[in-house]
Amino acid sequence: MTEMTYAQAARLGLQEEMARDPKVWALGEDLGYEGGMAGQYNDLQAEFGPDRIVDTPISESTIMGAAVGAALAGTRPIAEMRFSDFAMCSVSELVNQAAKARYMFGGQARVPMVARMPIGIRGGIAAQHSQSPEAWYAHTPGLVVVTPSTPANNRGLLKASIRCDDPVVYMEHKGLWGMLGEVDENDQEPIPLGVAATVRAGSDITIVSWAAQVGVAAEAADVLAADGISAEVIDLRTLYPWDRDAVMNSAARTGKLLVVHEAVRVGGFGGEVAAEVAETLGVPVARLGGERIPIPFSIPLEEAYKIKADRIAGRVKEMLA
């Protein structure tokens, strides 16, 4: 096992897939020149050449449009958007073209591409660089949505996303780029899409989350354990397809469900999970999510926006009271 950061693990996964398949390539702003955001493309242009690690103009619609066309032509591009917020300039290419091509052409065309869109809060980068719009893409038929929470997941899920024959919206959390974790470099198999992970076993309540909130939920489970409450924590890892069986089996056993996400609570994907569980099992469900406000630039206000472990623990205690 090797300890590396979340960003380094993604770089390793991309490097392995580019070495495995010559059809894999990446395009985006400053990938070769600066190594991309958090160094996720460091030295890859020197290794694979400027035709496979492609520096582009500052035009998200151009990056996405080129990736969609190249995927339809038989390659496997990775479109680097730098921030999910910036990707909003290229939504038409992704949602109206890539997501619908397989259906519109009766299965004769596929779009095997990855759109990397980092999400979430990363310390004072304000409202236009901090959003978590994963629910937008989970709502769109034809798109796969992936949200890794650890370095090992970031490597394994990126590998699976690159190999997927449908367009994948790959949403790393910016706040996790420096997170350290163990990665088994000898195991080069991808982590299957649509399979959740049980981070912590428990019997009193199920907490479901993804991306950076998984670690916060695990902290909350530790706090609750000190009070004799056993919380099971599930990391969805993939929002679409999401692991319905894992969530249902856990919620049926514990009898209660709390879904936690950093994204705005209103219209968030947590509502989908909670509704499915409530309709299927009839157990009590609840959600925790961000307020429907722009992410503040002020660090104290940004901290107040976050869903922290004490707030999760408090909501669990209310549900069990």
Torsion angles phi and psi, residue 140, rounded to 5: -95, 115
CA angle 62, 50, 10 (to 5 degrees): 80
The reply to whether 59 falls in a domain is: yes
pLDDT for 60: 97
What is the total residue count of the chain? Answer: 321
C-alpha distances (whole Å) from 310 to each of 263, 315, 317 are 18, 9, 11
Q: Are residues 225 and 249 in the same domain?
A: yes
Alpha helices in 122-169 (DSSP H): 134-138, 151-163
The reply to whether 263 falls in a domain is: yes
What is the Rg, in whole angstroms, of the alpha carbon atoms belonging to the chain? 19
Neighbours of 247 (CB within 10 A): 23
Q: Which residues form the catalytic set?
A: 129
Name the residue with tokens 């722009």: 294
| 90: Cβ contacts below 8 Å, ≥ 6 apart | 60, 61, 63, 64, 65, 79, 81
The residues that bridge with 231 in the sheet, in sequence order, are 205
H-helix or E-strand containing 26? strand 24-28
Q: Are residues 147 and 287 in the same domain?
A: no
The reply to whether 205 falls in a domain is: yes
Q: Are residues 207 and 63 in the same domain?
A: no
Q: Are residues 135 and 204 in the same domain?
A: no
Q: Check if the beta carbon of residue 38 is closer than 8 Å to that of residue 80.
A: no
**Dist CA 35 CA 10 (whole Å):** 13
Q: Are residues 176 and 282 in the same domain?
A: no
CA angle 31, 36, 38 (to 5 degrees): 160
Q: Are residues 136 and 261 in the same domain?
A: no
Q: Are residues 168 and 217 in the same domain?
A: no
Q: Are residues 228 and 313 in the same domain?
A: yes
pLDDT for 33: 86
Q: Check if the beta carbon of residue 247 is closer than 8 Å to that of residue 206.
A: yes
Q: What is the mean pLDDT of each run of 10 residues along the chain (321 residues)?
A: 97 98 97 92 97 97 98 98 95 97 96 98 94 97 98 98 98 97 95 98 98 98 98 98 98 98 98 98 98 96 96 98 92
Crossing angle of helices 151-163/6-20, nearest 10°? 30
Q: Are residues 171 and 201 in the same domain?
A: no
Strand pairing report for 24-28 and 53-55: parallel
Q: Are residues 165 and 207 in the same domain?
A: no
- pTM of the shown model: 0.96
> Cis peptide before 241, with omega less than 30 degrees from 0?
yes
pLDDT for 18: 98
The reply to whether 206 falls in a domain is: yes
Torsion angles phi and psi, residue 49, rounded to 5: 95, 160
CATH number of the domain where residue 247 is located: 3.40.50.920
The reply to whether 90 falls in a domain is: yes
Q: Are residues 30 and 75 in the same domain?
A: yes
CATH number of the domain where residue 166 is located: 3.40.50.970
Neighbours of 163 (CB within 10 A): 17
The reply to whether 191 falls in a domain is: no
The reply to whether 189 falls in a domain is: no
Nearest to residue 177, comparing CAs of 125, 114, 234, 235?
125
pLDDT for 276: 98
The reply to whether 213 falls in a domain is: yes
Taking the CA of residue 6 as centre, how many other CA atoms within 13 Å lie in the half-sphere pointing to its CB?
19
Give me the domain span that covers residue 248: 197-320
Strand pairing report for 205-209 and 257-264: parallel
Domain boundary pick from 152, 183, 214: 183
Work out how many domains the chain is built from and give that number: 2
Q: Are residues 202 and 164 in the same domain?
A: no
